[in-house]
Structure 1
Amino acid sequence: MPTTESPFAGRSFALGACLLERLEEADARPLAKILLSNEPWLTLHSTLDGIQRYFLRRDPGLWRFTARFDGAPGGVVCVRHPWLFGPYLELIALDRPYQGQGVGRDIVRWMERQAKPVSANIWTLVSAFNEPAQRFYAGLGFEEIVPIRDLVIAGHVEILMRKTLEEPR
């Protein structure tokens, strides 16, 4: 299990329209279905079983949260901490009804608040073909650091992005 020293160790976090709660086994399948209906998981040929295994496997450095809307799972957030020089937003996905509502922005701002006491940076990775995600992160102050070929799947490029926080430790 992750240590309680992580800023992401809480069981739940209220973020206005949604409540982030530790991902439970019962949420793995509905959340995997949400991912499979969105990019980049469609293009990367992800599978329901593969995503469920990712959600449920033991990984002490990965903090997984279900984004609940009126009590029902409507998205997922996974943060890797510790990771190099600041927490890494490994995954964020919202079901279509919650996209474009500012929830993603609220999640990134939550991550920034949690990270500020321990890091001067937060990180993410975006598929080069996923231009909406690139615009989303750039609009929140993330900068492209480096493209990485064949990282996730051969023939695809991923872009490592960083946001430098205003108040480094």
Structure 2
Amino acid sequence: MLRFLFVLLALGLAAPSATAQITFEPLPVAAEDEAPEFPIQGRPVRITLDEPADAVKVVWRPNSAIPDTVALDAAGSSFVWTPSRAGVATIQATSGEATVSQNVSVRYAGFPASGIFILIVAATILFGGAGFAMGKLLGGESPAPYQDLMPDT
């Protein structure tokens, strides 16, 4: 048992610790604007790395069957990035063999028109069908083929 604890201690001390971090700071578009709290599509974001990296890339839709990877021009440890689309993205900074990654959620700049259109169509179908069914039920007309049938109990 003691040997097992020594092995665990040795593995814990030998494991490399990832201390490098990636921080995001959304920037205001104009001087009089206030900086948003979260990254927004089409607005600049300052990305700051603890250490300069050889390569920095953005992976849109990470861990999916169809990720989209975009390389960023990382000159130094701080640079500006403007997200081209909304959604979940992973920023990966590679320096030698070490890779540091940070997930970020980029929000839409406004309400997406397609989402509002789909909401209106779905509500029309749902409530229209319910209204049609209630009208048929409470209309006072009884269906002709079912007048002579006894209820199934």
Report if TM-score (shorter chain) is over 0.5: no
The normalised TM-score by structure 1 is: 0.23
Structure with higher strand content: 1
The normalised TM-score by structure 2 is: 0.24
- Name the larger-Rg structure: 2
